[in-house]
Structure 1
Amino acid sequence: MSGRLRVVIASPLSRELVELLARDERLEIVWEPELLTDPEIDWMVGPKQRTPEEQARFEQLLDSADALFGVPDQSGRALGRTVRANSRLRWVHTIPAGGGQQVRAAKLDDGDLERVLFTTSAGVHAEPLAEFAVFGVLAGVKRLPWLLGMQRAKQWGPREPLGALTETTVLVVGLGAIGRLTAAHLTSLGCHVVGVHRREVDAEVERIVPVEQFADAASTADAIVLALPGTDQTRGMLSAEVLAAIKPGATVVNVGRGTTVDEPALIEALQDGRVGLAVLDVTATEPLPADSPLWELPNVLLAPHTAAISPHEPRRIAELFAENARRLLDGEPLLNVVNTREFY
């Protein structure tokens, strides 16, 4: 592709980062911040409440774009409307690493999926999520629920042993960018790391076992880290069958998607002690319903889907978009292209 690329900013972005994108003179940046939510609050927040006139103006801009920075209002329905209405649209960059699910929710036909390239921000969130995964494993090894329980009861002792990372086997399920970095960090700390993945990849693990052997591998693991995308293939992958086979007292950490867990089965395993601790950045339904037992269980640590957030996240996503824009204009392959069969 050559010439200029008309980019409409469809997700909240600061002026500084808009100016970063505009450094490439081949990009015509269209940014009307009054039509978007405040990026200082949360740029992944839901749709801005617009007047009918403002909504019409917003859609007019979307329908004039060659490329979109972000999915409009983080809505699959809005994305579907835009793709179908705008025949000149060639590329949409989704803000989340799991943006393939937004593309899926757009319910586009094969022609539209062929015409428009979709990319995600995969990799941008790998470091903070890998650190959170390590934190979760450490919380299990060092018996955080027990320590907190003793502290809250103002009980000094009894003195009991805590675990050691060098004696810990961790199963990392999903060896994408997040899983590979998690495995590398855990390996460097002395853990015995085993990967679960659909195919052989280059990762710092002792071995990789196929998905079909997940339950067998779980029976020998002290901790399981889920770093999976949300697809039909991964739905409920931490299943009742796997949880029935799990090593008693094991830690479960999820930095992928909540849909990859059979949540009722996990709750049951937490209640009967098969799972000693669950450290969850994601849940099957978000926000987590007020009546979920996960809120009250003493062996659960919840993060409200915040583990990926860092002060540098918006800048890194903007830099990724700028690099992909350059690639598109220079006729090079784009980074993080969505698989439109499995939507990850």
Structure 2
Amino acid sequence: MSERAYERHRCHFDTLDDEGHGLEWLPMAGDGRINGPIGAEPEVAWLSSDVFFDGLLDRFFEAVEGTPRLRWLQSAASGVDLEPYGRLLDRGVRLCNAHPTAIPIAEYVLRSVLDIFQDAGRWRAAQAEGRWEHHDFKEVWRTRWMVIGMGAIGTETARRARAFEAHVTGVRRYPTGDEPVDALISPAEVTVALPAADVVVLAAPATPETENLVGEGFLATMKPGAVLVNVARGKLVDDDALLRHLDRGHLSAAILDVFNTEPLDPDHPYWTHPRVVLTPHSSGGGTGRWDRGAELFCENLRRLLAGEPLLNEVTATQLPATDLPFTLGQHPR
């Protein structure tokens, strides 16, 4: 973990110390140096959220991949599309991911859709100009949502949309039976249900099967005036096809937090398109994610020490097979 994470969550680590586990903490400094006795090598590592944003990712992986004694890595992100993960699994290092950003991403989705439905920009413009101006707006009530990908993010999004009394259809390849949706379909059934959806939320991982999922055929099948939300990966969307459908007014809006190239090129049409809401891969930025990540790390560390099953353990079969969309220096959720 980083020095910053160690200091921020010191109370959690003090609790572990009070439990008598005999742990020695080795936080990583900003220059990649491990703080601790000379020659000390960590057996476990926590890839804390701040590492993704503080320019420490390369140094972090250099440190853990150069540690022969490492036996477990806890990531604070849900994505497992960083190349070093596969190398560590090949070495026999256990890997766990986390979903601390599912809550803020779901809140982002609801907030963004409400902004579109309520045409909130008109109120802001009227306020700026001192105009007392009413306008009607679309309610979430009784709208139909399709959430593609019912992992942690899709699940939290579905719960919140249903709280507004929307009808939610979830799309999942392997159902668990406890999805908080009104209907659950397989990927093969998407095109049948798609024309009824007022809102389509992409929350599926980037895989060879989902690359360019939202292409010409998908978009043409969508309901006229529908809203597309992508909080998954940019690779799921054919940008040229989406721009064509936005230009024609077939969709009322595209809410995009992820892109094929990040940072997005300064001259990309998305920046100025009137039907695009663009954010810089920031939908997971809720501050509660820090504590949720630390709590999971500590719980899994207890489990590791007790020889119990770990939460969110990742196997090699869950890693993307080809075309990894992220390299070191970028920050997946």
TM-score by length of 1: 0.79
Matched position secondary structure for 1:184 = helix
> Match for residue 72 of structure 2?
91
1:217 offset after TM fit, Å? 2.1
> Match for residue 43 of structure 1?
none
The 5 Å alignment of 1:1-150 reads: 9-10=1-2, 12-25=4-17, 26=21, 27-32=23-28, 35-36=29-30, 50=31, 64-70=41-47, 74=52, 81-82=62-63, 84-98=65-79, 100-102=80-82, 104-108=83-87, 111-112=90-91, 115-122=92-99, 124-144=100-120
TM-score by length of 2: 0.81
Q: Distance in 1 between matches of 2:315 and 2:51?
A: 22
Matched position secondary structure for 2:255 = strand
Which range moves more in the overlay, 180-189 or 74-83? 74-83
Give the residue type in structure 2 aligned to 1:108: R
Per-residue CA deviation, residues 68-114 of structure 1 (Å, 9 max, x unaligned), is 1117965886666555533311111112222x112x355527632xx
Q: Number of residues paired by the alignment?
A: 311
> Match for residue 301 of structure 1?
277
> Match for residue 217 of structure 2?
241
**1:273 paired to 2:279:** no
Give the residue type in structure 1 aligned to 2:13: L
Give the residue type in structure 2 aligned to 1:212: A
1:189 offset after TM fit, Å? 0.9
1:13 offset after TM fit, Å? 1.2
**1:323 paired to 2:302:** no
Query: Quick one: percent identity of the two aligned structures?
Result: 30
User: Does the CA contact (< 8 Å) of 1:142 and 1:163 recur in 2?
Assistant: yes
1:177 offset after TM fit, Å? 1.5
Per-residue CA deviation, residues 162-215 of structure 1 (Å, 9 max, x unaligned), is 222223111111111221121111112111111111122322222111112223
Aligned-residue Cα RMSD (Å) equals 3.2
Q: Structure 2 regions of 5+ residues with no counterpart?
A: 321-333
Give the residue type in structure 1 aligned to 2:297: F
Q: 1:315 to 1:186 in 2, by over 3 A?
A: same
Q: Structure 1 regions of 5+ residues with no counterpart?
A: 1-8, 37-49
Q: Distance in 1 between matches of 2:255 and 2:39?
A: 39
Bigger relative CO (Cα 8 Å, ≥ 6 apart): 2
Q: Distance in 2 between matches of 1:165 and 1:299?
A: 19
Q: Distance in 1 between matches of 2:39 and 2:318?
A: 26
Q: 1:80 to 1:69 in 2, by over 3 A?
A: closer
1:149 offset after TM fit, Å? 7.3
Q: Distance in 1 between matches of 2:38 and 2:120?
A: 51
Q: 1:153 to 1:216 in 2, by over 3 A?
A: farther
Q: Distance in 2 between matches of 1:108 and 1:343?
A: 11
Q: Distance in 1 between matches of 2:205 and 2:103?
A: 16
User: Does the CA contact (< 8 Å) of 1:280 and 1:303 recur in 2?
Assistant: yes
